Chain A
Amino acid sequence: GDSVTQMEGPVTLSEEAFLTINCTYTATGYPSLFWYVQYPGEGLQLLLKATKADDKGSNKGFEATYRKETTSFHLEKGSVQVSDSAVYFCALKESGGSNYKLTFGKGTLLTVNP
């Protein structure tokens, strides 16, 4: 079945450092890929998404590129802020059919220190 593997962390960075959180996936078709962010005590918010190979999702300085050849969707940000401290989840949705379930990775806790 489908699966998502992401860097488990925790990741601790200083403000303005470069961030990479790795995410790879296994899927039978051509899934859509997502990054969600969860702030303490809250639900998940969509950060960015990509629906086909070579698409780049971007939002709030974060970027991720859908790489079919390496089955990856790594999250990057050039300069993190303290406010970026949260848990980040990589997720996929199968293509086609009527199954709209999201499959999540285990999440990566990011802490950014001033």
Chain B
Amino acid sequence: GAVVSQHPSWVICKSGTSVKIECRSLDFQATTMFWYRQFPKQSLMLMATSNEGSKATYEQGVEKDKFLINHASLTLSTLTVTSAHPEDSSFYICSARDGLTVNYGYTFGSGTRLTVV
């Protein structure tokens, strides 16, 4: 079945540094990528939606200059947390949608645990 590989699975960084999270679709074309943030024991909060080759659409309240999303190819999307601070510590999950097949399914990455110290 469809697989999305998300890396790293966990990362610890110092305050003020930037962290890049990658999501790759391994056997399908990710026409749309969704980036979520999940706080402990809470649901997923959609941060942004990106279509391949286009600028990402950010949800209200999400700083686009802080959370940079690149979706330059049909198999790779990245989320860069710039100038990270402790309040950015969270679990980040990507989800890819294959809009080119009949299934139109969503495939989730395994998540990235970010800890900013």
Q: Which residues of A contact B (CB under 8 A)?
A: 36, 41-46, 89, 100-102, 104-107, 109
Contact = CB atoms under 8 A, between A and B. Distances in A.
Interface residues of B, number: 22
Interface of B: 4, 6, 32, 34, 41-44, 46, 49, 93, 95, 97, 99, 104-106, 108-111, 113
Contacts of A106: 42-43
Given A44-B93, A89-B43, A101 B49 contact: yes
Contact of A89 (B44, B49, B99): B44
A43 B6 contact: yes
A42 B9 CA distance: 9
Contacts of A105: 43
Contacts, number: 42
Contact of A104 (B6, B32, B44): B44
Given A42-B111, A43-B110, A45-B108, A102 B43 contact: no
